[in-house]
Amino acid sequence: MKKWLAMILAAVMVLSLAACGQTEESTGAADDTTEAAGEMTAEEKEAARQEIRKAIGLLLDRNYIVEEIGQAGQVPASSFVAMGMHNPDGTEFYQTAGNNEGYYGYYKVDKESFEANFEEAVTILEKYYDYDEATGKFTNFPTITYLYNTSEGHKAIGEYIQAQLASVGITMNLENQEWATFLNTRKDGNYSIARNGWLADYSDPICFLDMWTSGSGNNDIQYGKGAHADLKMYNLDLTPYGLETKVENGTWAETYDVLISTIKATTDEETRYALMHLAEDMLMDTGCVVPLYYYTDLYMVDDSVKGFFSNPLGYKYFMNSTVDGKGDTISVSLASEPDTIDPALNSAVDGATMLAHLFSGLAKWAQDENGNLVVVADAAEELVEGVVNEDGTVTYTYTLKDSKWSDGKAVTAADFEFAWKRAASEELGADYGYMFEIVKGYEDGDLAVKALDEKTLEVTIANSCSYWNELLAFPTYFPVREDVVANEGWATDPSTYVCNGAYTITGWEHNSVITLTKNAEYFDADKVTMNEIKLFLSDDANNMLSNFKNGTWQLIDDVPTNEIATLKTEYPTEFVVAGQIGTYYVCWNVNKEILP
């Protein structure tokens, strides 16, 4: 079966050295590998799969994708951590990623390098698969299936990848699923290769890296889960950074998980950022993450809409908007039926946008008088400075504003305490539970958050954290009430949905429209200009555009790919390409076999 078995041993040797920050030029397969190849370990097989996955990434022309398919100013991606994340000195994190001379990141993404990338990919794949020189195609690469959610743009990218792989003899089928089903299929690991995308949760690179720990609910690649949990092939040496950690041939949990925890406990910024680069090196070395481009946020908003704004995380805000100078109703379409609008369980941007209207956390995103985006106090009277304790922990004490739930009951500090502990609990299995790792006691399952009285909340975090206020503005940190969520179906029916934000749900025609109505109990209700938001549920870009053109919907979050060039010309003020911190990528299920 060609020479792939012999090459695996060389690959695993290079992998082990690379994980410790060393490099070694490959000298080819050893002469005595024939007998060893007959008894290959799981680690040796995974080393081969890593090289194969990285080779597939070299077959893709990112410039073609952004120029011919995306057409919205996207930038070809050479790393997973997105453009817009910065090092302490102000430089772009992605421009200091990787350990390569002559280019930054993990792929050469300039136009001139694509042909060489393609040839390199073929050379790598020849180690493992039978190659027909006459046709220029591989003959025994197993058939794979690419999973994507309904969208003209996602489909077009899938078809491009399909064609590129077919050009070298690899058969890749396409499977389309509606949004909620797609999320759960990917989360459960019931796929081989899938479309994916990640937008920043806050302005620190760690939010792109901590999602891949073995216990994270957002770890769709299945790192440290299933068969991958037992692989002992990763190395971690932090002694060059003045730390004692050194692991050889450890599991993902013993290395990557430990590295992420160390980063979160490190207060020296130079060291912390160096460790984050090390984490991305380790992540990208698996080949499971294949970045395609850095996002921009493409949407259309009618000229009649004023007061609307969005942030670089992709959230859109309508509470201070008007349509033709009136605050009666605004009709928008962001996506199809949300998977969930439970603050602790949501992991999608469309869901987060809804939650930002329905709940009031201690903090929120807002625009200042100059239109700049800032994080300000919301349910808290103010965003206080923390008190540094002798052990390096930091304690914050917040006083809540007088506010009520949508059913008229008072919002209390105990509601926040309950909600945070619920979201961080293993029992709930929340996607974002790991975001509470910064809070003291997380590892022991006992968060250091306490209601001192009805209006006073005390929380102690493990160490100083520059993005703490941004975490408070994230939906996972929003409050929920214990008696409400005791009903497992509370977040699926307007009659049981109790919230404390600017809006409440007054109608939900599933797979059709969700109606949000101004919450009279909201403490800042007098500042909310829009009385009703109708969120039409659709993943059909043609349907979205049709309803926008006829004036039925005032904002749509997707357009047909083949219409982009025309729309830029015909709707110059309404076709919007906004900044966004995120990466569009392809992900492989680490536990799926791709060897011949």
Euclidean distance between CA atoms 568 and 551, whole angstroms? 18
User: Do 4-294+583-588 and 303-537 agree at the fold level?
Assistant: no
Q: Where are the beta strands (DSSP E) in 410-565?
A: 449-453, 456-461, 503-509, 513-518, 532-536, 555-556
Query: pLDDT tens, 302-316?
Result: 999 999 999 999 999
What's the whole-number mean pLDDT along residues 363-389?
95
Per DSSP, 213 falls in state S
Exposed/middle/buried for 511, CB within 10 Å: 0-12, 13-18, 19+? exposed
| β-strand partners of 500 | none
- Report the chain's terminal Cα–Cα distance, integer Å: 8
Euclidean distance between CA atoms 532 and 319, whole angstroms? 9
pLDDT at 99: 85
Exposed/middle/buried for 231, CB within 10 Å: 0-12, 13-18, 19+? buried
What's the whole-number mean pLDDT along residues 346-360?
96
Task: Give the ranges where 72-129 is alpha helix by DSSP (H).
Answer: 114-125
pLDDT at 102: 86
Domain edges within the chain: 4-294+583-588, 303-537
- Confidence band of 458 (pLDDT split at 50, 70, 90): very high
Residue 26 gets the label, from left (phi > 0), alpha (psi -120 to 50) or beta, of beta
Helix (H, G, I), strand (E, B) or coil at 245: coil
What's the whole-number mean pLDDT along residues 143-149?
98
Percent of the chain with pLDDT over 90: 90
pLDDT at 408: 96
How confident is the prediction for the chain on average, in pLDDT? 93
Torsion angle, CA of 126/129/133/135, rounded to 10 degrees?
Answer: -130
562: amino acid identity, one letter: N
What's the whole-number mean pLDDT along residues 370-390?
96
Tokens 């805000």 found at? 317
Euclidean distance between CA atoms 438 and 426, whole angstroms? 16
- Confidence band of 12 (pLDDT split at 50, 70, 90): very low
- Confidence band of 40 (pLDDT split at 50, 70, 90): confident
Euclidean distance between CA atoms 515 and 331, whole angstroms? 9
CATH code for the structural domain at 4-294+583-588: 3.10.105.10
Query: pLDDT tens, 536-574?
Result: 999 999 999 999 999 999 999 999 999 999 999 999 999
- Confidence band of 34 (pLDDT split at 50, 70, 90): very low
The closest alpha carbon to 586, from 194, 174, 163, belongs to 194
502: amino acid identity, one letter: A
pLDDT at 107: 95
- Indicate if the pLDDT at residue 17 is higher than 50: no
pLDDT at 101: 83
- Look at strands 329-333 and 532-536 and give their pairing: parallel
269-285 helix and 4-19 helix, angle to the nearest 10 degrees? 170
pLDDT at 127: 96
- Indicate if the pLDDT at residue 16 is higher than 60: no
pLDDT at 30: 35
pTM, 2 dp: 0.89
What's the whole-number mean pLDDT along residues 343-370?
95
Query: pLDDT tens, 487-524?
Result: 999 999 999 999 999 999 999 999 999 999 999 999 99
What's the whole-number mean pLDDT along residues 176-183?
95
Task: Give the ranges where 38-113 is alpha helix by DSSP (H).
Answer: 42-58, 62-64
- Confidence band of 31 (pLDDT split at 50, 70, 90): very low
Euclidean distance between CA atoms 353 and 314, whole angstroms? 8
- Could you give the C-alpha distances from 120 to 107, 139, 288, 327, 505, in angstroms and in order? 12, 18, 18, 58, 54
- Indicate if the pLDDT at residue 90 is higher than 50: yes
Euclidean distance between CA atoms 587 and 286, whole angstroms? 11
Fold of 303-537: D-Maltodextrin-Binding Protein; domain 2 (3.40.190)
- Indicate if the pLDDT at residue 11 is higher than 50: no
Euclidean distance between CA atoms 585 and 500, whole angstroms? 35
CA 472-476-477 angle, 5° bins? 35
Euclidean distance between CA atoms 495 and 477, whole angstroms? 23
Report the half-sphere exposure of 479 (CA within 13 A, side-chain side). Answer: 30
Euclidean distance between CA atoms 106 and 287, whole angstroms? 10
Query: pLDDT tens, 401-431?
Result: 999 999 999 999 999 999 999 999 988 988 8
Euclidean distance between CA atoms 460 and 420, whole angstroms? 13
pLDDT at 557: 96
152-166 helix and 541-549 helix, angle to the nearest 10 degrees? 140
Query: pLDDT tens, 93-129?
Result: 999 999 888 899 999 999 999 999 999 999 999 999 9
Euclidean distance between CA atoms 281 and 123, whole angstroms? 23
- Confidence band of 589 (pLDDT split at 50, 70, 90): very high
pLDDT at 555: 98
pLDDT at 33: 35
pLDDT at 160: 98
Euclidean distance between CA atoms 435 and 475, whole angstroms? 11
